[in-house]
Every structure is written in structure tokens, then in C-alpha cells.
Structure 1
Amino acid sequence: MQLKESQVAVLETASADEATSVDAVAEATDLPPETVTGAVFELEEEGLVAIEERVDETISLTDEGVTYADERLPEIRLYEAAVDAGAADEPAQMGQVIGASGLEGAGVDIALSNYARKGYGSIDSGEITADPDADSASDAEANALETLADAEETAADAVDVEGDVLDGLERRGLLERSESTVREVTLTERAVTELMAGIETAETVGQVTPELLTSGEWDEVEFAEYNVEADAERFEGGRVHILRQTAERVKETLVGMGFQEMEGPHVDADFWINDCLFMPQDHPARTHWDRFALEAPTHIDDLPDQLVADVERAHREGVGEDGEGYHSPWDEEFARALALRGHTTSLSTRYLSGEQIGEIEPPARFFSVEKVYRNDTLDPTHLLEFFQIEGWVMAEDLSVRDLMGTFEEFYAQFGITDIEFKPHYNPYTEPSFELFGTHPTTGELVEIGNSGIFREEMLAPLGVDCDVMAWGLALERLLMLMYGFEDIRDIHGTLCDLKLLRETEVTY
């Protein structure tokens, strides 16, 4: 019997009495594991070996997991700092506690997102409390990290940690699971018989070379067969995030409805973000707890003088004969303060005023799909940064019916036809209403946006003398209605499910 050299090597190394792994055969024969695997499958087809397969799962900590195993989880550091600050007795200022914890950057967000979830206390309106009965020493995730920290890789079935704890650490990106298929071979009776009779090594060629072709030897040699079922290393290539895919689809939809796209700075003056929207400067949403101010630079240099004067007059005195304004403090220095925009309506004020691209004549339609930043409490439907679908239409004699019809047409493009509307109050629109959609999994109504007709007190200083209807919609909430996600963090942020992101396709 003639066999290829690699097949002969496998037969001479394997045993009929006990199973031998492919890796063990490769080590004994100095052949690459993939070569041995191919030879094993070929021998199985000839009835010379039997193959048994099993899948082994191993667990190892990521670099971030190793760091937290050494330095403690961010939420534990935050809790201990809160206890030291007396938050177990009365609420403490969150900024002071965060500073005392030594947390920075992403560590702060991670601590805040897990603090209340684990029962360490509560966070509300810039204050933090600590539950005196919480026991950070019994934190299951922290203890699991300590258990896994001593070994580079650990067999999953040998880890004394609850499965849901491991799942939580994996979602947080603190551990990785890897699976490997282990194949073991055993010689059959026929193989033993052939070995006893003697097996010759056949010369085979695995690759066509220029020399074989030019010499004509290709017609005389025996080519090795390719086994397309042999294992190959899997590579996960990069792909566009489903949130970005949805954003692009929203843009295409709005362009198809006749809208033009706006663009502008993520960091802007409070003047454009709030003052131009007829938002009083003492409004709770404009406190330092609800906005992300810049440390350097702190203020914008250039603002249009006449527009600043007109906006200030609207705030102090109102607009028109019946306008009264707010009779509240208005400070130009505060208006010049820089912050991360809390909504993309700052783009709308720039465009409507003519400062961005020049004067715009009605009728006109503009939109943007860009990121905004708010100091919200993290939960399944809120993040510190998210995407907002901003839009407005400038035309004569617009009504709420026009606005509702626009929404119904827009959401119908995404298969959502059960939009509900609820009256609402905004300082810059009248009338105003919120939009709600039904979550496909839970059946609950989910708020998906805010809208209204811009007030005269906002439009007059900007130089606009016709109606403008506008809205701000949540891109992530749209994605939740389309695909049934119940937690925004499943697709966005440090806890997102990478497998879900790889497998979910945004369809048109």
C-alpha cells in the first residue's frame, strides 16, 4: 500500500490502543498541525483511523481585567471613596467622591454604570449615597477576577465561578473565552494489518511550480489531494457598526425626503447651544451638573454682536407687544462659555441665523445625525453621549399636522407605523410634543423624540420671519424599535456585545 509521507507518519505515530491528539502527533513527527489534520482526514476516508472530536473552552483575563484584578473594580473604588466621604450617612458631592477615588476617563463611566446596579448606593442630581450594608469584599465579579488572575489561561470547566458572573465579566470586556477543537485519532484494525504488511511512501506534489510546467514533469507526478474540510484559522475582519449603518440609512431617508445635511462643532458656546433657543440662563439644564464645560479654552472669542444684543433683548424683554421675556439674569460672559453640545439644535441656530452658510430662504429643509453629550444617569435607555437626529423645516403656515405627517412618513421607512404623540413643554417651541413608539419585545411605550414649532422669541432674534417646525430624535431608540434591543449598552459603549454587533445586519 502506498500513502503520502504525512499519512505514513501519522500511522506510525498513532496507536490502536489509545487515542492520540493531533497536536501530539504533530509534535512527535515535526509536522505542522494543519498538515497532520489534513492527513488524518484523508486516512479516515481510507478507513485507516477513527477520529473523535471535542471542543475545549478556556478563559483568560483581558489586559483591562488584569488591571482591575490588581487595582480593584472602578465601582468598588467609587464605593470605598463614597464611604470615606461620609456618603453612608448623607449624600456627598459626586465630583468630590470621584476625585477622591482616583478614577479618570472611561473608569468614571464604568464605575457610574455599575454602582447602582450592584447595590452600592444611588446617584442623583450630582450627589452620591453609599449603602452602609453593602459588602464590596463579597463582590462576585471582583472575586472572580482574583481567582482568574493567577493563570494565563484556565479551562472553563475547572473554574469555580458561577456562569452568570463569567458572562457579566465577558460583557464588560474583562475576560475572553476561546474555543478549540481537539481531535484524537485511533488506528483501525485495517491500519494495523496494513502496517504489518508494510506501507510504502508515495511521492506526491502539493504545489504546481513554474519548473514543473516548463519541464513537462507535471504530467508524470502525483498531486496531493486538497481537503477542503480541514481546519483553517478564522479571522474576524472589521465592519461598520450597526449604529453607524442605521445613521447612514437615516441620512439617505432624509435626503430622499428633500433635506440637506448640517454640520458644525461638537464644542460650542452656550450662546448657540441654549441662549439662541430662548433657554433662560438660570434653567436647571444649564447648571454645571448637567453640562460638560471645557477647562481650556473656557470661552469663545467671536460672537455676532447684533445677534447677541437681539437674543439678550428677547430674554430680558420678550418679543412683540405682548412679549415679557424671563426677567431673569442674562450674562454675556456665561453665553460665551464653551461646552460639549447637549443637543444638535446648536447647529439649527447657527444655520437659521445665517452665520453658518449665509441667509436661507424658505422653503428649506435641513437635518443632522451627530453625537451629543449629556450628564445623564446611565440606564438601559440613557448614555452620557448618544446620536441625535436633528431636523427642521422652514416654510409659511406650518402646523402640527405638517409635523406629525413628516414623522409618520419618516418612521414608515423603517417599518414603524404606530407612533404616538404626547403634549409637552419646551422653552423654545410652542406647541410642543414628545414622540413614542412601541418596543417590539416588551410592548412598552418608548420615548423616541421631542418636537414642536419654534417660538417667535427664538426665531425673531435669528432674523427668521416665517414658521419653522423642528425635532430632535434619538438614533439609538430608533435602533431599539427596529431590532428589539432592551438595553442601549448592548450595542453602544464599553459593555456592548461584540458577537451581536458582528452578526446583526441593518436591512433596507
Structure 2
Amino acid sequence: MKVPESQVAVLKAASANDAQTIEELAEEAGLKPETTTGAVFELEDEGLLSVEERIDESVSLTGEGKEYAENGLPEIELYEAALAAGGDENSVEMGRAIGQSGLGGPQVNIALSNYARKGYGSIDGGEIVADPDADPENDAEANALAALASGKPVEDADTLDQLESRGLVERTEATVRSVTLTDDGVTALMEGVEAAETVGQLTPEMLTTGEWRDVEFAEYNVSADAERIDGGKVHILRQTANRVKDVLVGMGFEEMDGPHADADFWINDCLFMPQDHPARTHWDRFALSNPTEIDDLPEELVEKVRRAHLDGIGEDSDGYHSPWDEEFARAIALRGHTTSLSMRYLSGNAVGELEPPQRFFSVEKVYRNDTLDPTHLLEFFQIEGWVMAEDLSVRDLMGTFEEFYEQFGITDIQFKPHYNPYTEPSFELFGRHPETNELIEIGNSGMFRPEVLEPLGVECDVMAWGLALERLLMLMYGFEDIRDVHGTLCDLELLRDVEVIH
């Protein structure tokens, strides 16, 4: 009996008594796994091999899961801190317990959300109580993490489900094929199996010499499973950003660019944001330590902005009458919005003085010290835009949004009046999530106030907006948690498989 050389090697490596996996068979035969797989399926079709399939599930720790396996779950750390502070006898101020626990950032919210669920105590009105009978040593989730970290299996499906929902473990499924020789295969080996001289690929030389007429070509099993290869592709967020740019350019806009780290002057002061505004504290911004400030601010514009803050603009504006410090205005931070670019362009600082009408936009990253949740990240993309022209109104602004979002199949935009220090009138935009049917905020907008425009030297109306690219993505694709798409915990399978909406 003559068969291709790879099939001979597989037949000789296979056993009639002990089932072998494809990987074991490939090692025994000295072949690549994919070559072995093809040979196995071909021999199965000939009745020489028997193949059984099963699905094996494996569980592995995520990066966050490994951290908690080593250092402990946040809720257990909070419980131990509350106990140490006397929370088993009297309620303790929550801030004190959190401070003693050493938790920070998103771990605080994680600890608080799991503390009462797991019976460690209660939290009410900023006070925390620790249950003295709680037993963290028998915490099922903590013990499961420890077991997985040491390579031991975890059989408790409910605990694994909970850990998976928290993003601490990943489950993967793999098809395992077990191969054994059939009676016909044993008979074929006993009678003798020889390697046939077959050719697997037709070459130009075979065609020119006519050799193809005399060779035997290997048969191909077109129904055999092929190895999955995930090639690189443009991230769905970048694809959407590029589409947004195309839409805005089609609407007559030009693109802006500028620094990610900029002076507070351009980020906030030019926007008539008072220097004592809560959003300008170190809690809500990412300041730079090197360098700490910018030197090249336009002196004349700095003085005009300072006067606007102190005294206002015109008879109907009174300013803030609060301290204004030029040193604070020169401080460098990561921009919390791309309106810093708008200020540079409207002032003439970026591309020279602009004459109306003008339309500009940007789709760039911004940085905010927010609490991570399904709709907030520490960095995200903002769709900035403004139109400078005579006699603009809120109707023009609303119409622009309706035209823009219609390009993405979104036709039910809703508007809500809002307050901004830099625009009047102002309103927020909301869209309805296609899966949850909830209204989610997708942007903020308004007409720039005279206190913003007059120091910049702009003598006509300017309507402006900041829209969230990630929120647009949620409305288009139905994503419920933006962390699945963007950030360190993103769902790679989702990103590989999602179909682009055109």
C-alpha cells in the first residue's frame, strides 16, 4: 500500500491501544502539527485511523487576577483595615479605613462594591462596619485565585463565573482530537505501507518541462480544519476616528492639531474657566513635573484674558473677582479637552489670524483623572469642532449635529440645557443605546461667550462642541462597556471579530 510520506509516518506513530493527541502524534512522527492534522484526516477518510474530538476548557489569570492572587483581593484588604481601626466594635469613617488599607484608584471602588456582597460588613453614610465573624481565609474567590496561580484546577463553576465577571480570569476552549489505529490500519501496517512519491505543489518548472504529466499529486482534504491566523488590522476605534474625519471634511471642516501637554492658559484660562474651579485642581488634572511651565505665552493675550477673569467683558459681565495667577496659567498639564486647540486657532496663534467664515475640527486624545467605569476612561478621544461666522444660532448648532450623526445612522439625538463657564447658551447631547435603550451623554456644546471671544480678537459668533468618540462607538456597535474596546483590559476576541459598519 502506497500513501504519502507524512501519512506513513503518522500510521507508524499511531497506536491501536492508546489514544494520542495530534500534538503527541506529531512529536512521535517528527512532523509539524498542521502536517499531522492533514495526514490524520486523510487517513480517517481511508478508514485507517479513528478520531474522537472533545472540548477542553482552560482557565488562566488575567494581569489583574495575578496581582490579587499575590497581594490579596481589595475587599479583604479593606476588611482587614476596618478591623484594625476598630470597625468590629464601632462604625469607622470610611475614608480612614480606605487610607489604612493602602488602596487607591479603581481598587477603592472594587473593594466597596464587593465588601457587603461577600458579608464582610456594611457601608452606610460614609461609615464602615466590619463583621467580626467574617472569614477571609475561606474566601472562595481568593482561594480560587491562589489555586490557579499555583497551577491547580478550580472545580467551583459559580466561583469561576464570578471571577470571570470581575475580569480576573479568562476561559478558553480548545478542540482536542484523540487518534487511534483502526483494525484496517493495523492490517495495512502488517501488510506493509510504503511512501508514495507524490508532489504537493505544481511549479513553473514542471509546466515548462512537461514533468507534471508523469508525477502523482498529493490529495488535499479541503474540509480539514486550518490553523487560525489573526493578522493585524486597524483598531475599530481608529477606523471610526478616520470615518469621523472623512465626514467632517465632507461637511467643509479643516483639521486642527497641537500639543497634548499644554499650558493651563490655553486649556482653561482662555476658556474663561476660573482658576479656583474644582476641575482645575490637582485631583482632576494630570500635571507635568518636567517641565512644569511654559515660557512662550503671548503677553498681550495673557493680559486680555486676565482682565476678562477679573473684571469681565462689557457692561453685563462682572468677571469672577477671584485671584488670577499668571504662574498658574503657565503650568503645563495634559489637556483635559481639545478646546485648547480651538483657543490656539481662534487667537491666531496656530495658523495666523482667521477671517470668517471658518470651520475647524480635531479628533484627538484627552486626559482626565476620572473613575473608571463602563463609560469613562482616564484617556479618550474627543471630537472637537467649531464654526466661526456672522449671525449663528443654536438652531445652526443643532442642525450641524443632526447632519453629522445621521452619517452614522443615528437619528434620535436629544438635547438638554446645560451650564458651561465658556458657552451661553449651552446644551448636552444624548443618544439612545441600541442594546440597553438607555440615554447616554455623547457630547457638550454651546455658543462661546464674549468673555472667551473678545480677548481672542474674534468679533463674530462661534458655535463649538466636544463629542465623545467612544460614546459614538457605543451607539454604533452596541458596546456596553468601553473598556472592552479601549484600554489594558480590552476584549481581543471582540476586536478581532467585530464587523466594521460602513
Could you state the TM-score of these two structures normalised by the residue count of structure 1? 0.85
Are 1:39 and 2:33 matched, yes or no?
Answer: no
SS of match in other structure, 1:118: helix
Q: Residue 95 of structure 2 is aligned with which of 92, 96, 108? A: 92
Structure 1: 5+ residue stretches without partners: 122-127
> In the TM superposition, what whole-angstrom CA distance separates every residue of 1:309-331 from its partner, at most 9, and x where no partner exists?
11111111111133321222212
Q: Does 1:288 align with 2:291?
A: no
Q: Is the 8 A contact 1:369 1:387 kept in 2?
A: yes
Q: Alpha-carbon deviation of 1:395?
A: 0.4
Deviation at 1:226, TM superposition (A): 3.0
Matches within 5 A, 1:418-457: 418-457=412-451
Correspondence for 2:198:
205
Distance 2:477 2:193 in 1: 60
- SS of 2:177's equivalent in the other structure is strand
Q: Distance in 2 between matches of 1:392 and 1:424?
A: 18
Instruction: Give 1:132's aligned residue.
Output: 130
Q: Percent identity?
A: 67
CA gap of 1:180–1:477, structure 2 versus 1, over 3 A, is closer
> Residue 53 of structure 2 aligns to which amino acid in structure 1?
E
The reply on whether 1:273 has 2:267 as its aligned counterpart is yes
**Hey, what's the Cα distance between the residues in 2 that align with 1:258 and 1:210?**
54
Query: Is the contact between residue 85 and residue 92 of structure 1 (CA under 8 Å) also seen in structure 2?
Result: no
Partner of 1:492: 486
Per the alignment, do residues 21 and 319 of structure 1 end up closer, same or farther by CA in structure 2, a change over 3 Å counting?
closer
Q: What's the offset of the Cα at 1:230?
A: 4.0
Task: Please report how far the alpha carbon of residue 113 of structure 1 lies from its aligned counterpart in structure 2 after TM superposition.
Answer: 5.5
Residue of 218, 224, 243 corresponding to 1:224: 218
Q: Do the aligned residues in 2 keep the contact of 1:294 with 1:339 (CA within 8 Å)? A: yes
Q: Distance in 1 between matches of 2:79 and 2:376?
A: 22
CA shift at 1:175, angstroms?
A: 4.3
CA offsets 1:57-109 (integer angstroms, 9 cap, x no match): 22333566445422335676677678778997225389x949x83x8xxxx55
2:50 maps to amino acid = A
Change in Cα spacing, 1:493 to 1:351, as seen in structure 2 (3 Å) is same
> How far off its partner does 1:258 sit?
0.6
The 1:24/1:78 distance shift into structure 2, 3 A limit, reads: same
Query: Equivalent of 1:360, from 346, 354, 360?
Result: 354
Name the residue aligned to 1:59: 59
Match of 2:107 in 1: 111
Q: Which residue of 2 aligns with 1:316?
A: 310
Q: Distance in 1 between matches of 2:67 and 2:205?
A: 56
Counterpart for residue 333 of structure 1 = 327
Aligned to 2:121: none
> What are the ranges of 5 or more consecutive residues in structure 2 without an aligned counterpart?
118-125
> Which SS does the other structure have where 1:50 is aligned?
strand
Count of aligned residue pairs for this structure pair: 489
* 1:460 maps onto 2:454 in alignment: yes
Q: Specify the code of the residue in structure 2 equivalent to 1:132.
A: A
How far apart are residue 194 of structure 1 and its match? 4.4
Distance 1:247 1:109, change over 3 A: farther
Name the residue aligned to 1:164.
Answer: 161
How far apart are the structure 1 equivalents of 2:242 and 2:109?
Answer: 29
The amino acid that maps onto 2:249 is V
Look up the SS of the partner of 1:459 in the other structure.
helix
Q: How many angstroms apart in 1 are the aligned matches of 2:109 and 2:248? A: 34
- Offset of residue 471 of structure 1: 0.9
Partner of 1:350: 344
| Cα separation, 1, equivalents of 2:193 and 2:371 | 74
Displacement of 1:181 in angstroms is: 2.5
**Greater CA deviation, 46-55 or 396-405?**
46-55
Q: Is the 8 A contact 2:34 2:227 kept in 1?
A: no
Deviation at 1:251, TM superposition (A): 1.1
RMSD: 3.4
Give the direction of change, closer, same or farther, for the CA distance of 1:368–1:500 in structure 2 (3 Å limit): same
CA contact (8 A) 1:3 1:199 kept: no
